[in-house]
Amino acid sequence: MPDYSHLPSLVSSSDGRYRVVNSMLEMVSDLETIQRISFPDLADAEIMSADHFASHIKIFPAGQHAVLDTLEDKVVASSSDIQIPLDFNHYQHKFFPAVGDGYFTTHDSSSPWLYGADIGVHPDYRSQGLSSLLYKARQDLVQRLGLHGHFAGAMPKGYGAMSLEMPIEAYLHEVIRNERFDPVLSIQLKRGYRIYGVIPEYLEDASCANYGVMIVWRNPDIGWNE
């Protein structure tokens, strides 16, 4: 088993058990495992493989994060980010083409926006605040690089079960008003993200009825002037 104890911490849990570090090439098989177990309903063609994660690390190492369980020195969660342009007037897009078919070849270091391509937590480690640690690391990166903010096509993973009962817009209104809990969006809203719009056919995943939801977090040093 690789020894990751020497890697510097970007963010840590209050008890020190979990540390966010930059992902390393030695982790890619573990990252693929977390990806597959985190998204059981995602089409296989849109699953990030070890080769994809290796490409992410080579192209934009600062944007790749992993959570280590220091008790077992193993990877238990991860996130992947890329810089791509954001046009608020034309925000609807499809996930895989936006990220270079998963290889991050669309990375544009001149873009002032960080795009959240992926986040996953191993089921055995959920409800321990690991996604919050990863969002903190992402937002810290935005501020460190002086970017405008962080955006993503969030997956409303609770909507698939409700899609025959209500339109996506009604579902989102209930989530925003805290009348309904969504396992993805509710956490993101607590982290300061705002819902900007709906993205039909964002990806192929029954849990969200193929929808994405455009979410945006602005760098507080810049604000919402645009």
**pTM attached to this predicted model:** 0.92
Please say whether the structural domain 11-218 has been given the CATH code 3.40.630.30: yes
What stretches of 38-138 adopt beta strand conformation (E)? 64-69, 74-83, 113-121
Residues of the chain with pLDDT under 50: none
3-class DSSP state of 152:
strand
What was the pLDDT predicted at 169?
Answer: 97
Distance CA 122, CA 43 (A): 18
Distance CA 34, CA 101 (A): 19
What was the pLDDT predicted at 225?
Answer: 55
Task: Provide the residue ranges of all domains of the chain, joining segments of one domain with +.
Answer: 11-218
Amino acid in the structure at residue 126 = R
What was the pLDDT predicted at 3?
Answer: 84
Distance CA 116, CA 102 (A): 12
